Structure 1
C-alpha cells in the first residue's frame, strides 16, 4: 500500500486545476525570460580563436557552418580526462535529435571541449554521436568564457565561474565519496576534474562580425538535460540520492526495458 496521499478522481482534478494555474504562470514567466535573454546587448568578439575540428583548423566564424546563429555547449572534457564528463554526456545524448532541426532553423549547435581532438573523436564514436564537436586545446576560448580554469586559479580559491568568484576545493582533510566517484569516472582527481565547468554560450554572426549574446552555467543549463524534464513529470520526480546517472553504455542491463514477450 502506498504511503503517498491518495484521493478520488474529483479530488485529483481539483488539485490538478490549481496546479495548472501555477504551471501556466511559470510558462508565461519563462517566455518573458526568453525575451529578455534576446534583448541582452551583443558584445563584439575581435579575438581570433582557433579550434580543431573534423574538417581541420577552424575559426569561431567557421563553427557557424554558414548559419547566422551558434550555440556552444561547453562540454567538460579536459586534456587529462580519459572520458567525457558523465553529466555532460547525459546532456549530449539529446543533441543528435535536435541538431538537424536547429540547423534548418539557421542555428548551429556545436560542443566545444579542451581535450585534444583525437580524444573527442574516439569518445564521440563510442557514444554514437553525430553532432559537431570542436577542440579548443591550447587556446583561450574556454578560459575566456570561464568554463576552464588554470591550476593557479584553482589554488587561489577564487575561480571565476557563473559570474562570481567561487572556491570549488573541498575542505582540507574532508573525504567526499561522491566527488571522488565523479572525478574517477573521467580518470582524474577532483581538482583536475573541476577545473572544467559546464555551460552554454550563444553567438550571432552579422556582416562578418561575431557577437557574444548569452552564456549560462551551473543550473542555468538544467533545461538542456532532456531526462530531467521527463523526471520532473514522473511520479517520484528526480528522486535523487547521490551520483546516479551514467554514460549510456555503462548502465546495468537490468535497468533497460524488458523486450516485449511474443507469448503475451
Structure 2
C-alpha cells in the first residue's frame, strides 16, 4: 500500500451540528497556537546578533564572499543543504525542502530578503544536482572553509563520524559586515515548508510513523 491508495479507515460521520462544534473547538486551540507563535516571534525579533566571518565560499564562477550573497539586499536567508563532500546527490529531505520554496522567488526579494544555499560538497557537484532538479537558486560550496564546522552544520558523533544538519541561517548586513540573527535546524525548518503544513491539515496528516493518529490511520517510515 502506498500514499496513492485510499485507506479504509476514516473519521466518524456525524451531523452538521456535531461537526461545527468539533471544528469550533479545534479552531479555538489553533488560535492559541497562533497567539503563542506571535509571542515567540516577538521574542525572536529581540534576540541579539553575532558577527560572522566573511567566509570565502566557492560558486561556479569562483570565490563568493558571504557578504556578496546579500546582493543589493541587507537581509539574507541561507538554506544549509546537506550534501557531503563525497556524495553524488543531495540529501532527499533537503531536496524536498528546496522544492518547497516559493515558485516565484521574487516574492522573497520583494520583501528585501536575498536567498542562497550552502553545502560542503564541491561546487561542480552542487551545479550538477541543481541542473538535475531544475533549480535556479544560488548555491555555493563551503568545502574550502570552516563554515560548516564553525556553526554546527557539520558535526562529529561519539564514534568520530561526521554527520550533517539541515537548517536555515538568517543574516543581517550592517556596515558591510554579516551578522547572524537567528538559525534553526531539525523540525524548526518546518516553519517554511508549506507542503508539510498542508499535509498536517489533511485528514491523515503526514502519514509518518511518529505521529499520534487514530488506529487504522496509514503511517510510513519518516525517511522511507
**TM-score, with structure 2 as normaliser:** 0.85
Tell me whether 1:118 sits opposite 2:121 in the alignment.
no
Q: SS state of the match for residue 168, structure 2?
A: strand
Q: Give the Cα separation in 1 of the matches to 2:185 and 2:104.
A: 20
Deviation string 1:35-93 (CA, Å, 9 cap, x unpaired) is 21121001122x23111123431111001112100111110011011100000000100
Give the Å deviation of 1:99: 2.5
- Stretches of structure 1 lacking an aligned partner (at least 5 in a row): 158-190, 246-264
Q: 1:41 aligns with which of 37, 42, 48?
A: 48
1:102-181 to 2 correspondence within 5 Å?
102-149=108-155, 153-156=156-159
Q: 1:3, 1:214 → 2: CA distance?
A: 41
Cross-structure match for 1:224: 192
2:80/2:118 contact within 8 Å kept: yes
Instruction: Name the residue aligned to 1:206.
Output: 174
- Partner of residue 197, structure 1: 165
Q: Quick one: distance in 2 between partners of 1:74 and 1:2? A: 38
CA distance in 2, matches of 1:134, 1:98: 21
SS of alignment partner, residue 137 of structure 1: coil
Deviations 1:159-202 (A, max 9, x none): xxxxxxxxxxxxxxxxxxxxxxxxxxxxxxxx56xx11111111
Structure 1 residue 98 displacement after superposition: 5.2
* Aligned-partner Cα distance in 1 for 2:10–2:222: 26
SS in 1 for 2:103: helix
1:182-225 per-residue CA deviation (whole Å, 9 max, x = no partner) reads xxxxxxxxx56xx1111111110012121111111111112233
1: CA distance, partners of 2:83 / 2:75:
24
Report the equivalent of 1:60.
Answer: 66
Q: Which has the larger share of helix?
A: 1
- The alpha carbon displacement at 1:244 in A equals 5.5
Please give the secondary structure, in 2, of the residue aligned with 1:202: strand
Q: What is the aligned counterpart of 1:80 among 48, 72, 86? A: 86
Aligned to 2:33: 26
Separation of aligned partners in 2, 1:243 and 1:31: 29
Larger mean CA deviation between 11-20 and 97-106 belongs to 97-106
Q: Which secondary structure does the structure 2 equivalent of 1:95 belong to?
A: coil
Three-state SS of the structure 2 residue aligned to 1:19 is: helix
